[in-house]
Amino acid sequence: MYKKSVQGWLKHLDFMILDVVCLWISFTLAFGMRHGSLNVFANSLYRDMMWSLALMDIVVIFFFDSLKNVLKRGFYHEFTATVKQTCLITLCSVFYLFTFKEANDYSRLVLTYTAALYLLLSYITRNIWKYLLRKYLGGNGRRSLLIVTVSEIVDTVIDNIKNKNYSDYIVTGVCILDDKAKGRTIDGVPVVADKEDLVEYVCREWVDEVFLNIPESEPYPSELLDKFIEMGVVVHMKLAKSQNLLGKKQFVERLGTYTVLTTSINSVSRRQIVLKRMLDILGGLAGCIITGILCIFLGPAIYIQSPGPIFFKQTRVGKNGKMFQMYKFRSMYMDAEERKAELMKENRVQDGMMFKLDFDPRIIGSKKLPDGTIKKGVGNFIRDWSLDEFPQFLNVLKGDMSLVGTRPPTVDEYHFKNGGAK
């Protein structure tokens, strides 16, 4: 029976508990430095803040995945991760104090001391705990793994599994299928069997799981695989050479009845998607409120000079080619698209995609006087101050767009960039 590794944010529960303890210790020391006493619980305000800090720490770890790959991080990356965690908790603390109108009741020095002490204490504790896990707790509850591979890649395979696995397995031996190397030692791992006596070794010795890594050019040992499974030994098979896909994310999924290896430039967890959508909704609501206020002033100004809708809708291309209607404050006259063909010969950009004029008579209120000077109108004001973009917060609220991202292209721009096919 195969015991799946713990996944998700609870995978590193030990680090989470240590992090909360470090935060509590830092807060207690900071309180003592400021007030001359370590008895935080004697003060109800600071006692409540102590529990709030623990909750903030857990929430930050959950939403920002702060402990992801914590066992694989070196000293520098661990330091940057701890700095990020400290900054986020400090920001949450400030937000909490101002939201509940308690900022004047707490000492700012306590907050500053807490951040500094937590950064130092958490960084040291994380590295010490990782050292202890690797050095002293390595064999407790871990699974025995036998590597089965060929001589061409044996060094790389052992390095990837033994030195970059950190906590799940004890590599007890290796079998080289195309070489009589039994008795040798490679990177501290003994060669315990040859191809002929491999099955006998697995039956006789402590082997929980087997990892088969055979190059694509070699015939796959399907008979060995069947025998291992019959004996109840868990078998891991290499799916792809992820080292050939640097910068890409890979994970195994189910697609119908198929088991597939999915590759992407990046991947996000469900909680990251939820957090991003929450931020988009909050930002969209705030932006829509501002848009409503602007409507009070811009709406009449637009309608008086150019009767018609105050909003302009244009088809844009969003994620993965999905089209949607993008909203803007109308800054041009109603017949702007019809007049565009007449003005095409004056276009300053001849790439077929951009349309730029020294003077654009389609803009509401824009006029060229007899002496050649250009009088700007409400349309120019809207465009110069980018006020026409505010209705796009409605698109953000609907989910067509996001607060963070590139400008969605027009249909013509999208087809031009994708080979001109329509």
The amino acid at residue 170 is I
Helices and strands: H and E segment counts in the chain:
12, 12
* Mean of all residue pLDDT scores within the chain: 83
Question: What share of residues in the chain are helix, strand, coil (percent, to 5)?
Answer: 50, 15, 35
Structure tokens at 225: 């695989």
Specify the higher pLDDT residue, 370 or 89.
89
Predicted confidence at residue 66, as pLDDT, reads: 87
Confidence (pTM): 0.56
Please state the CATH superfamily assignment of the domain spanning residues 143-264 in this structure: NAD(P)-binding Rossmann-like Domain (3.40.50.720)
Closest CA to 114 of 187, 50, 164, 69: 50
Query: CATH 3.40.50.720: which residues of the chain?
Result: 143-264
* Distance from C-alpha of 135 to C-alpha of 130, rounded to nearest angstrom: 9
Residue 185 zone, left/alpha/beta (φ > 0; ψ -120 to 50; rest): beta
Closest CA to 67 of 88, 52, 49: 88
Predicted confidence at residue 329, as pLDDT, reads: 95
Cβ neighbours around 176 below 10 Å, total = 22
Q: 96: Cβ–Cβ under 8 A, 6 or more apart, which residues?
A: 52, 56, 102
Confidence check: pLDDT of 46 > 50: yes
3-class secondary-structure state, position 150 = coil
Confidence check: pLDDT of 377 > 50: yes
pLDDT band at 6 (very low <50, low <70, confident <90, very high): low
